[in-house]
């Protein structure tokens, strides 16, 4: 079975798939008050409908075997890992035909909001250390019903992610 190594999240490596920002260690210019430092507009997105904030719980598998992926044709997805670092696998947008051979896996630090561009292949994040990952998914409401295509990989396209 093909194996891919999860790599550190860097701007250059992740640029083809989206953007990210560490919300628990903000950098750069801030608006400061007596008790606060406010870091405005570090990541933005607009949706044509209401944004939904949906918790996801993902158990840590013994082996990170990837057997399927999904994409959203017109919708970028944001994920914020809350209690652990997470592994996120992504593959380039490909007009609905899976390209699992182009998949890359990234280790996203806890507290880092990551945006997955529209049509980029992905699936649920996977915890690095904790028995169960707690994360927040941000999508337009009902995206799972209106703009979500999930594809099962044939055995020859499945792969394992290694840390």
CA distances from 70 to 13, 91, 98, 101 (A): 21, 10, 9, 15
Give the confidence band of 9 by pLDDT, cuts at 50, 70, 90.
very high
Q: Taking residues 114-130, what's their average pLDDT?
A: 98
Q: Which of 3-17, 38-52, 73-87, 98-112 has the lowest mean pLDDT?
A: 38-52
Rounded Cα distance, 92 and 12, in Å: 15
| Domains identified in the chain and CATH numbers | 2-162 (2.60.120.480)
Arithmetic mean of pLDDT, 144-151: 95
pLDDT value of position 93: 97
Query: Residue 88's pLDDT is what?
Result: 98
Q: Calculate mean pLDDT across residues 122-134.
A: 98
Q: Dihedrals φ, ψ of 38, to 5°?
A: -110, 125
On whether the CB atoms of residues 90 and 104 are closer than 8 A, the answer is yes
Structure tokens at 42: 């570090």
Q: What is the pLDDT of residues 48-90, one digit of tens each?
A: 899 999 999 999 999 999 999 999 999 999 999 999 999 999 9
pLDDT > 70 in the chain, percent: 100
The bridge status of strand 159-162 relative to strand 2-8 is: parallel
End-to-end CA distance of the chain: 16
Q: 104: number of CA atoms within 13 Å, CB side? A: 18
pLDDT of residue 139: 96
pLDDT at position 99: 97
């Amino acid at each position: 079975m093909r194996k891919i190594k999860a790599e550190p999240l860097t701007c250059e490596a992740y640029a083809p798939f989206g953007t990210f920002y560490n919300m628990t260690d903000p950098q750069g210019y801030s608006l400061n008050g007596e008790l606060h430092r406010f870091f405005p507009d570090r990541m933005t997105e607009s949706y044509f409908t209401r944004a939904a904030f949906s918790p996801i719980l993902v158990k840590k598998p013994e082996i990170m075997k990837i057997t399927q992926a999904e994409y959203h044709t017109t919708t970028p997805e944001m994920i914020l890992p809350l209690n652990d670092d997470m592994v996120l696998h992504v593959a380039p947008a490909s007009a609905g035909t899976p390209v699992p051979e182009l998949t890359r896996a990234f280790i996203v630090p806890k507290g880092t909001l990551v945006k997955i561009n529209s049509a980029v292949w992905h699936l649920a994040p996977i915890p690095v250390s904790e028995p169960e990952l707690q994360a927040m998914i941000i999508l337009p409401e009902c995206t799972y019903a209106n703009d979500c295509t999930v594809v099962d990989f044939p055995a020859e396209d499945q792969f394992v992610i290694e840390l």
